[in-house]
Structure 1
């Protein structure tokens, strides 16, 4: 258990004791039985007199392969197979030469019901992935600064996710296949994981980001660094809940294989009653068992102590948010802060106010300028006088950015300036835990 004298990274033994409270009821024995039956029907009966095409051979190999070890990768694999199955269940994708066969009222009704079951399962899976991602991100954000920096981090994450979705949309618009779509989705997921690992290790540009995580206990960063290690804390999750998920992944591959081979041979043969019966039974068992697993694992994840809570963090020794600076700007002079920006799409942000004295002097001039790598100067924020101001902008070019507080117009009065300035690199993204 976690030490009462000081929190430590959650271990496999800690998660084991937690998972003991969440045993998963075994999958129906029909899962393994039907998986074997539909795979045998596909590879023995349907391929006996009709050799597979290159694409069909790849599907056979994929169905024979052991499912991936990681939980989230299995989720994406199931989602991909469900989309492929739904694609084939669309009436417009039934072989035209067999329209007289598939228009049989009973078969049409059956395929329509299977389509609705798979749509419901896909919706459940999409909702689970979205909620899990949001839950983890919001948990991490409880340790982020609760000022404009936290807002900017959220903005960066939202923009990053929009860019990822735009890449998916562009792929689909250009004719990319479902397989291509999910290859890109997994590549994006792995990028999130790399960013999480680098954040925990504070390597590269993440060293710059670390100083903005005010109040984050070191044990949290230790946990983030090791969370997805092959033998890290989440390996306990894979050992506990991986096997039933692996069985469902294998079943999804087999259903897709059977349906693909059946559809590919309707040009020369009709659907047999035994084929329809086993397809219906397999689809019903898979969708019901997979939805049961998703509901269960969703409850486990929601309550899982992957991260310490903000309330727990309040009991630790956390350094205060003391990075506001206070400086006196004499009459007739200015105060400047220079920031070197190496990456475009970084955010420069500020928050300042004047400490009012007995004379209640109200304002100070403020402007922002940029000198790019070629030495060219650009005025980013025109000069204006403020009593207080908070703002930010996204950088378009690397270079030196100078924030200037100008009291040169004053002949007699100094200004006491309290300010905070940050440059936040564009490296924060949705995190992924498996």
Structure 2
């Protein structure tokens, strides 16, 4: 049993400092370009025939924002990869491609087999990443558990739970359940694993029979496994730092699946078969390359990230952070405002702000406007987009000043803003007496 003396659970401040050492190079511009173009091509194909019920469901999903959780996005990518692989099976090709009556059709069939192989490899890499990460979390937790029958009981509980979960999946598959239904069950099971970890931390629920055996388990470990996945807990830093590039890849794989589904249903009606398949090849190549790069990067980040840190470390980080800056999340399509009432001219309004996820080249609109007592507005600082900015100005009018951060142009990426705003009144020189002046 590893010692936890002097250790506390990782904090969001610690993860922010830790992730500064692991900046992720943004996805290629081809990701957004191809996602947009492939969606446009799918829309063109839909003009031949109205969408089916399955296509409507996929269109609705493509129009929604990707999930916020990192692991939920991983499951979503895995689900849609498997759906694409299903469509790329020879038996599901359009009839004309199955027959391969012409050299062109035979060539296109070869391309499709290559794409299937590429996606199968990506799927295996993702599945290995998920399995390895799950084992690492559990094994790290067990490192700090008493190395006696208590640890054995919890390992047995986990093994029994995993067998039951697999039996659920097998039963669904054997009954003819769809890929969508299977992944809905897999995600439900993932959330159940989280609840089990949380219940271990509070010694309730599924682990209530082990309560009396948990004597001797370090409280710091119980605190960690109970709070680590809270919505605003430490892992929110990871979601905000690395979530946006993953969200763009989730959106891309959904667009690719939509395109294949729509193309297969209208293949005979289209007259650009070679161009369509060539475009599909390009999109899958870019997606697989970028997604595998992201998985490898996250694997490296996870492998080196501790769960418990020294109290001195977290104390120093919290002191560094307590400099009167605030953090606020600005949702996609929204703005955030700070209003200041200025009673004296020659006051100074100053600001200092940055985006938490500035490491991946995100920005946010910023402007300053003034409103007088009559309700008339004057633009003080024109709208401009920044990753971070510092500035100030001297007021020449009394009234309301409004600092506005604008994320209305963003489709689905929220921005986490760290800011500090001050309104400094004018310095009034003391009035000197005649005696003081003459002296």
User: Where do residues 70-219 of structure 1 align in structure 2 (5 Å cutoff)?
Assistant: 70-96=69-95, 98-100=97-99, 104-204=105-205, 206-219=207-220
Matched with 2:57 is 58
CA offset digits 1:162-214 (Å, max 9, x no partner): 12111111111111110011011011111111222222233346455244235
After superposition, what is the alpha-carbon deviation per residue over 1:243-294, rounded to whole angstroms, capped at 9, x for unaligned?
1100000000000000000011124445523212211110000001000000
1:225 and 2:191 correspond: no
Q: Would the aligned equivalents of 1:56 and 1:261 in 2 still touch at CA under 8 Å? A: yes
1: CA distance, partners of 2:243 / 2:101: 38
Partners of 1:94 and 1:205 in 2: CA distance: 46
**Matched residue SS, 2:231:** coil
Q: 1:308 to 1:11 in 2, by over 3 A?
A: closer
Q: Which deviates the most, 73-82 or 108-117? A: 108-117
The separation in 1 between residues aligned to 2:151 and 2:203, in whole angstroms, is 18
**Cα gap change, 1:5/1:182 in structure 2, threshold over 3 Å: closer, same or farther?**
closer
Question: CA shift at 1:5, angstroms?
Answer: 8.5
Q: Distance in 2 between matches of 1:204 and 1:158?
A: 17
CA contact (8 A) 1:143 1:214 kept: no
Superposed CA deviations along residues 316-347 of structure 1, whole A, max 9, x for unmatched, are xxxxxxxxxxxxxxxxxxxxxxxxxxxxxxxx
Report the equivalent of 1:46. Answer: 45
CA–CA distance in structure 2, aligned partners of residues 31 and 163 of structure 1: 39
- Matched residue of 2:25: which SS? coil
**Structure 1, unaligned stretches of length 5 or more?**
310-434
* TM-score normalized by the length of structure 1: 0.67
Measured after TM superposition, the shift of residue 7 of structure 1 is 2.2
CA contact 1:121–1:291 (8 Å) conserved in 2: yes
Query: Displacement of 1:40 after TM fit?
Result: 1.1
**What is aligned with 1:370?**
none
CA distance in 2, matches of 1:244, 1:134: 25
Rounded to whole Å, the distance in 2 between the matches of 1:63 and 1:225 is: 34
> In the aligned structure 2, how far is the partner of 1:72 from the partner of 1:122?
15
Equivalent-residue separation in structure 2 for 1:229 and 1:304 (angstroms): 18
How far apart, CA to CA, are the structure 2 residues paired with 1:102 and 1:127?
39
Distance 2:108 2:71 in 1: 35
1:251 aligns with 2:252: yes
Give yes or no for contact 1:197–1:224 (8 Å, CA) kept in 2.
yes
Give the Å deviation of 1:98. 4.7
d(CA) in 2 for partners of 1:49 and 1:69? 35
Task: Provide, for residues 129-186 of structure 1, a one-character-per-residue CA deviation record: whole Å limited to 9, x for no partner.
Answer: 0000111111111122212332232222112111211111111111111001101101
CA contact (8 A) 1:143 1:213 kept: no
1:291 corresponds to: 292
After TM superposition, the score normalised by the length of structure 2 is 0.66
The CA RMSD measured in Å over matched residues stands at 2.0
Runs of 4+ deviating beyond 4 Å: none
In structure 2, C-alpha distance between the alignment counterparts of 1:78 and 1:100, rounded to whole Å: 31
1:235 matched residue in structure 2: 236
Cα distance in structure 1, aligned partners of 2:101 and 2:248: 31
Call closer, same or farther: CA 1:270–1:91 in 2, change over 3 Å: farther
1:102/1:108 contact within 8 Å kept: no
1:217 Cα offset (Å): 2.2
Q: Unmatched 5+ residue regions in structure 2?
A: 311-439
1:261 paired with 2:262, answer yes
